[in-house]
Amino acid sequence: MPIEIRVTVNGEAKVFRVMPGERLSEVLRREGYVSVKVGCSTGDCGTCTVLVDGEPIVSCLMLAAQADGTEITTTEGLAPPRALHPLQEAFLDEGAVQCGFCTPGMLLAAKALLDRNPSPTEAEIRKALAGTLCRCTGYENPVRAVRRAAERMREGGE
Amino acid sequence: MSRKHHHVIGKDIRKVDGRQLVTGAPAFTTDFPEKGMLIGKILGSPEAHARIRSIDTSGARAIPGVHVVLTHENVRGGAPWSEARPDLFPRVAYTRAGQDYVEPSPWDFFLLDSKVRHVGDRVAAVAAESEEIALEALSKIRVEYETLPAVFTPEEAMRPGAPVVHDEPEIVRAEDSARNLCASVDVTLGDPAAGFAEADAIVEEVYRLQRVQHAQMELHAAIARLDNEGRLIVICTTQVPFHTRRQIAQALGLSIGRVRVIKPRIGGGFGGKQEMMIEDLCSALALASGRPVRLELSRYEDMNAARSRHSMAIRLKTGAKKDGMLTAIEMTALVDAGAYGSHSPTVPTNTGNKNLPRYRCRNVRYAFDAYYTNLPPTGAMRGYGTPQGTFALECHMDEVAEKLGMDPVEFRLKATVREGDADELSPHIYEVKKENVPEDERIVWRFNSCGLQDCIRKGADAIGWAEKRRAHDAWNAKNTRIKRGIGMATASQGSGVAGIDTAGATIKLNEDGSVALYVGAVDVGSGGDTVIAQIVAETLGIEVADVTVFASDTDITPFDSGAYASSTTYVSGGAALRAAEEVRAEILGAAAEMLGVPSGELRLEERRIAPEGGKGVSLRDVATFLAYQKKVQVEKTVTHVSPVSPPPFAAQFADLEVDVETGRVRVVDFVTAVDAGTILNPNLAEGQVHGAVSMGIGYALSEELLFDAKGRPRSRGFLDYKILKATGMPRLRTIFVETYEPSGPFGVKAVAEIPTNGPAPAIGNALRQALGVRLRDLPFTPEKVLRAIGKL
């Protein structure tokens, strides 16, 4: 029997009909939020990371039903239409995107970090990104990009 | 050709496909679901080697929502697929290795077969209304297996009377399938016996390499459908769209013209997608059901039933003079091909010929035997056989240096090749097999660009070789628990497959001077589309933003062999350069007409055509003139093949610490100095180095696919197959030692694969200093480290 859940996705109120066993990652993809990538379905790779009430979670390990009443951010919601978030700009500038499959998860993990810590150390950035596996970049340029975005956001905020 | 000022080449241009990737827009195969799409699933064999005695699919077919169940019973006879019997396919032997026709890989695979040859091998496939229904259907298929004795190592496979993995009569091009021998090469140059006789020192050792896996983040996936005219359209995660189109047609008995393969963005490939892993079966499900079908592997299937890096045992014997000059090298490799021979003739070929030519030595023998086993097939993976050889040879050369009492850096500077040196081995592995090549019949390639000596020197300086070597010895004498070591390795690779890799590029001039670029090349995430656009923009005096890249669609873009062998920038870029030069000639011709100046005196720069110091005309005006006055659509297509494969070179250095109580190795600093010719886009090139190094460090320390005694996978996913995380990476430093390769567009060579070769031997050589013992088996797990020092 389908269940109705009420969630806010990227600032928009939504009602989704979901099956009791359905994962949040599946439902979000079905509803068109294809930035949510699925690389393992066992919670190990982190490509399906989304923010639920501001916290990064692997959406393949959360039942959609559990998300009822929450606020969800996916990469589609990082910036207004036609604009890019400083993290997105920095990822492009620093060559931090290769295949791009893990990029949405990494961007959201980085956003969660910068939301609570605008001046992270390199170790803190690495720790925040450690939940997202990337086979392309060796993490070097993504770490550099997060640092660069943090700098730009601090300057922009002054 | 000399270097000149470039406006786009050598700049950190943003990726042309970057925006869609950072915004999470639909870009990858499974982001494009079709209306009415069914979900396909594969039933994998639980047995490593068995005949299917009977298979009952009635229970699966009875489930509402199940549209198609295919087994080997649907694959019989020789008739091509037809609409009259849409669930019947011909029994045809083919290979899934994405190589030029005729593939060197044996044709030893069938769409579905009555024999299974590894755990996870295809038994049946279903297409159903949902994933749940498809999985339920798989659970209802009753299979009775006749278990056959199995072989899990080349040593077992080569024994007289061993079970035969491939006893089917249809097999084509395997070396000797009755003996499980998939492929074999034996080439000798010069006289190794004489070389050993004149040596002052001889070293002989065996090095062992494990199986590892690509672990690209995007799983293998395909969506197949029929268009309104009944043509088969396949969108898929492939590095080789044109080979995949041909192989789908071959497997199903369709004409190539009835198949269209579309490559969207690819979420990493690393060679694993140089393989038609599932496109044949997904297409069969779509043809049989008449509905769009999505087939996607799970991570478990991707890791264990797709492809992996060939495991090998490599024996090396080297003779050297006291001064470090080499008198003979003999390298022989015993190779595990797994259950099907995808890439098994060519991957081990590279193990020798992408490594041995790096050393100056006149007497060389390279031989390998690749055996079929009942483990999952090995295949193409970044480096394509080279990392195995680099690990063996570079650990070995450190051992030679040690025996000669020479410093490893000093020894490499003495023994390795320089610009202008000959490569006599590589051309001959393609040309002849099992023959001694007489001196006067040798084909010789020359290293027309080689910065290896500079790479060694600059890398050694950057890591602080001499000081650290001394300081670590002093530290190790004083400290009992944490030991330190520094090590190095040299590396080489190729730039495309010489004389084989083919790339087409089409450039269409718009009436405002911007262009559309159509390439069959596949950007697997490396930034290939971007650097090819840079080559075109530079040549036409326009910006990268003026170039729209279409890649790749077998209906629309010209042919390209695909993204492998580090070929994209060198070969596909070469095609784009030549097409751009032809478009430029048209533009200059029209401008000459407009200006009344001979076209030979005109230059095209910054969207403007003018004679030196004279009055000019804008590119926009020329393009408009061509379109509306001359009524010409300027469109040029060029096909490019390179007769040579110039090697990039590298020297890589690892500085590390080992905890001798836990056996844990921590790489602290890693330097790569690489000669990849001209660097077109430093940011993207550096990214290639970082990714390749991280893969190489994983190979050295933590990655290994394991199987139990019955051939069942023990690496179920990322929980027990450990690739590096952001917190586990050392400091990575890259030095580009730029040379100019005359055969490459703007002087480029390849960069994508080579940096994955050196980390394992550099780490092995550093461990020798840290521990005082030599480890020759990868990976260097804590357990192996503790065993090596007698603590376990």
Report pLDDT for B2: 43
| Closest partner CB to A76 (pick from B24, B216, B683) | B24
DSSP, collapsed to helix, strand or coil, labels residue B719 as coil
Q: How many CA atoms lie within 13 A of B560 on its CB side?
A: 44
Answer whether residue B562 is part of any domain. yes
Q: What is the DSSP string of B26-40?
A: S-BGGGSPPTT-EEE
Prior bond of B531 cis (ω within 30°): no
Write out pLDDT tens, residues B196-248.
999 999 999 999 999 999 999 999 999 999 999 999 999 999 999 999 999 99
Distance from CA of A39 to the nearest CA of B (A): 6
- Contacting residues of B for A35, CB less than 8 Å apart: 23-25
The C-alpha atoms of residue B121 and residue B100 are separated, in whole angstroms, by 25
Does the pLDDT at position B439 exceed 90?
no
* Tokens, residue B614: 């004279």
**Cβ-proximal residues to B200 (8 Å cutoff; 6+ apart), any chain:** B320, B321, B322, B404
Residue B431 pLDDT greater than 60, yes or no: no
Looking at residues B261-287, what average pLDDT do you find?
98
Residue B277 falls within a domain, yes or no?
no
AA identity, residue B581: E
B25 has a chain A CB within 8 A of its CB = yes
Statement to judge: residues B477 and B525 lie in one domain: no
Question: Is the model's pLDDT at B583 over the cut of 80?
Answer: yes
Interchain CB contact of B35 with A (< 8 Å): no
Per the CB < 8 A criterion, the answer to whether B347 and B378 are in contact is yes
Cβ separation of A41 and B298 shorter than 8 Å?
Answer: yes
Interface of A with B in 109-128 (CB under 8 A): 125-127
Is B265 near chain A, with CB under 8 Å? yes
DSSP state, B55?
E
Q: ipTM of this predicted complex?
A: 0.98
What is the model's pLDDT at position B445? 86
CB atoms A37 and B217 under 8 Å: yes
- Both B653 and B774 in a single domain? yes
Within this chain, do residues B621 and B504 fall inside the same structural domain, yes or no? yes
- Are B234 and B224 spatial neighbours (Cβ–Cβ below 8 Å)? yes
The whole-angstrom separation of Cα A78 and Cα A89 is 12
Quick one: DSSP state of residue B545?
Answer: G
Asked if pLDDT for residue B434 goes beyond 90, the answer is: no
Domain A3-77 belongs to what topology? Ubiquitin-like (UB roll) (3.10.20)
Q: Do A126 and B683 touch (CB under 8 A)?
A: no
pLDDT of amino acid B588: 98
Using DSSP's 3-state secondary structure scheme, residue B298 falls into: coil
- Tell me the pLDDT tens digit for each residue of B689-702: 999 999 999 999 99
Confidence (pTM): 0.97
Does B739 fall in a domain?
yes
Of B584, B608, B641, at which residue does a domain stop?
Answer: B641
Lookup: tokens for B710: 């019955």
> Mind telling me how many Å the CA of A37 is from chain B's nearest CA?
8
Residue B566 to residue B389: CA distance in whole angstroms: 17
Q: Which domain holds residue B584?
A: 18-26+500-641
Q: Is residue B385 assigned to a domain?
A: no
Which three-class secondary structure state does DSSP give residue B255?
A: coil
Q: Tell me the C-alpha distance between B413 and B423, whole Å.
A: 18
Among the candidates B641, B665, B682, a domain finishes at: B641
Instruction: Give the rounded percent of residues in chain B with a pLDDT score beyond 90.
Output: 94
Domain A86-157 class, CATH top level: mainly alpha
C-alpha closest to that of B220 among B272, B285, B286, B280? B272
Same domain for B622 and B750?
Answer: no
Q: How many domains does chain B have?
A: 2
What pLDDT shows up at residue B432?
47
| CA pair distance B547, B570, nearest whole angstrom | 19
Residue type, B306: A
pLDDT at B762 over 70: yes
Q: Are B762 and B634 in contact (CB under 8 A)?
A: no
Mean pLDDT across chain B, nearest whole number?
Answer: 96
Residue B437 reports pLDDT greater than 80: no
At residue B656's C-alpha, the angle toward residues B314 and A121, to 5°, is 130
Whether B485 and B524 map to the same domain: the answer is no
Question: Which residues in chain A have their CB less than 8 angstroms from residue B215's CB?
Answer: 133, 135
CA–CA separation, B254 and B231 (whole Å): 10
Q: Is B687 on the interface with A (CB under 8 A)?
A: yes
Question: Above 80 in pLDDT, residue A22?
Answer: yes
Quick one: B625 and B750 in the same domain? no
Which residue in B31, B217, B684 is closest to A99 by CB distance? B217
Q: Do A84 and B23 touch (CB under 8 A)?
A: yes
- Whether B694 has its CB under 8 Å from any CB of chain A: the answer is yes
Q: Is residue B459 part of a domain?
A: yes
Residues 67-86 of A with CB under 8 A from B: 74-76, 78-79, 84
- pLDDT tens, position by position, B720-750: 999 999 999 999 999 999 999 999 999 999 9
pLDDT of residue B424: 82
- Residue B492 contacts residue B358 (beta carbons within 8 Å): yes
Answer whether A37 sits within 8 Å of B267, measured CB to CB: yes
User: B300 in a domain, yes or no?
Assistant: no
> Could you give the percent of chain B with pLDDT greater than 70?
98
Residue that is written with structure tokens 């051309």 in the block:
B427
Q: Is residue B158 part of a domain?
A: no
Read off the pLDDT of residues A28-83 as tens digits, 9 standing for 90 and up. Answer: 999 999 999 999 999 999 999 999 999 999 999 999 999 999 999 999 999 999 99
- Is B440 exposed, middle or buried, given 0-12, 13-18 or 19+ CB atoms closer than 10 A? exposed
**Distance of alpha carbon B789 from alpha carbon B792, whole angstroms:** 8
Count of beta carbons in the 10 Å neighbourhood of residue B442: 15
B435 within domain boundaries: no
Alpha helices in A8-85, H assignment, sequence order: 24-30
Nearest to B272 by CA among B346, B344, B374, B378: B378
Residue with tokens 């008739």: B79
Contacts of B257 (CB under 8 A, 6+ apart): none
Q: Which residue of B has its CA nearest to A21?
A: B132
Claim to verify: residue B781 and residue B648 sit in the same structural domain:
yes
- Both tokens of residue B589? 């011709």
B263–chain A Cβ distance below 8 A for any pair:
no
Provide CB contacts within 8 A for B25, sequence distance 6+. A34, A35, B19
Residue B615 sits in the same domain as residue B680: no
Based on the domain organization, do B611 and B715 belong to the same domain?
no
What mean pLDDT do residues B629-656 have? 96
- If asked whether residues B587 and B727 sit together in one domain, one would say no
What are the tens digits of pLDDT across the range B374-402? 999 999 999 999 999 999 999 999 999 99
Cβ distance A100 to B525 less than 8 Å, yes or no, reads yes
Please provide the DSSP assignment of B476-530 as one string: HHH-SSEEEEEEEEEEE--SS-TTT-EEEEEEEE-TTS-EEEEE----SSSSHHH
Of B140, B150, B89, B142, the closest CA to residue B116 belongs to B150
| Residue B671 belongs to domain with CATH number | 3.30.365.10
What would the mean pLDDT of B716-721 be, rounded to a whole number?
95
CATH 1.10.150.120 segments of chain A = 86-157
Is B14 part of the contact surface with chain A (CB cutoff 8 Å)? yes
Q: Where, residue-wise, is CATH 3.10.20.30 in chain A?
A: 3-77
pLDDT at B1: 41
Q: Which residue type does A41 have?
A: S
Mutating which of A34, A49, A74, A140 best tests the B interface, going by the most B Cβ atoms within 10 A?
A: A140
Q: Do residue B620 and residue B655 come from a single domain? A: no
* Residue B195 CB partners (closer than 8 Å, separation 6+): B319, B327, B328, B361, B362, B363
Mean pLDDT confidence for B183-202: 96
Which pLDDT belongs to residue B430?
59
pLDDT, tens digit (0-9, with 9 covering 90-100), for B96-137? 999 999 999 999 999 999 999 999 999 999 999 999 999 999
Strand, helix or coil for residue B147: strand
pLDDT band for position B435 (50/70/90)? low
- At residue A126, the 3 state secondary structure works out as helix
Q: How far is B400 from chain A (nearest CA, A)?
A: 32
Q: What is the pLDDT of residue B356?
A: 97
Determine how β-strand A55-58 pairs with β-strand A49-52: antiparallel
A34 touches B: beta carbon within 8 Å: yes
Put simply, whether A137 touches B (Cβ < 8 Å) is yes
CB contact (8 A) between residue B15 and residue A97: yes
Cross-chain residue pair A103–B22, CB shorter than 8 Å: yes
| The domain boundary residue, chosen from B612, B641, B670 | B641
- Same-domain check for residues B748 and B651: yes
A49 touches chain B (CB under 8 A): no
Whether A25 has its CB under 8 Å from any CB of chain B: the answer is no
